[in-house]
């Protein structure tokens, strides 16, 4: 949209703004460094979990450094890491889900669902995953996702009021 003389709208739920608020205590360069370091750590943790999920063959066992190199060659990921996007945090949440779901234990399902619910700051991704888990009747996962979603909603409501989804939807519609 034409934003001449306006600010670009914040398209994330208000809870994500609460997550970023502490960066306001720093100057822009310091805040950027903190943001990038946090997301690099998210990426490294995600890569470690994904490496454990990789199939192990006798001849070609995946090594952590190999996986890091391959992932960093993916230009959108590298641009996201150093361009101050939150894709590494999303990757970490997805990795937690992928790491815990195959265990098929009640506690693991709940925490995988909780990670899914916390991912609702980008609702298009976890909504599809949640739909699949409802179809698979993984109710503990669904309960964890509901708990995470309620946490995101409540934190957003505390900041922007209980009708924040309507305001947020109108803002997203503008973009």
pLDDT at 130 over 90: yes
pLDDT at 175 over 70: no
88-127 pLDDT per residue, tens: 899 999 999 999 998 878 899 999 999 999 999 888 889 9
Q: How far apart are CA 110 and CA 142, in angstroms?
A: 8
pTM over 0.95: no
18-56 pLDDT per residue, tens: 889 999 999 999 999 999 999 999 988 998 888 888 777
Q: Which residue has the higher pLDDT, 165 or 146?
A: 146
Q: How far apart are CA 141 and CA 105, in angstroms?
A: 10
pLDDT of residue 82: 81
pLDDT of residue 61: 60
CA distances from 122 to 3, 11, 14, 91, 170 (A): 23, 9, 12, 12, 16
pLDDT of residue 3: 56
């Amino acid at each position: 949209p034409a934003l001449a003389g306006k600010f670009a709208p914040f398209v994330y739920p208000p809870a994500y703004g609460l997550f970023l608020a502490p960066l306001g205590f720093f100057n822009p360069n310091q805040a950027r460094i903190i943001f990038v370091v946090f997301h690099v750590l998210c990426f490294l943790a995600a890569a470690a979990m994904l490496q454990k999920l990789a199939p192990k063959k006798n001849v070609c066992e995946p090594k952590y450094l190999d996986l890091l190199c391959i992932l960093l060659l993916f230009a959108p990921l590298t641009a996201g890491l150093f361009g101050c996007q939150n894709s590494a945090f999303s990757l970490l949440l997805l990795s937690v889900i992928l790491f815990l779901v195959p265990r098929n234990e009640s506690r693991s399902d709940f925490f995988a669902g909780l990670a899914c619910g916390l991912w609702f700051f980008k609702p298009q991704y976890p909504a599809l995953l949640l739909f699949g888990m409802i179809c698979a009747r993984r109710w503990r996962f669904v309960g964890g996702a509901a708990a995470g979603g309620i946490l995101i909603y409540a934190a957003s409501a505390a900041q922007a009021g209980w009708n924040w989804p309507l305001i947020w939807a109108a803002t997203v519609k503008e973009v």
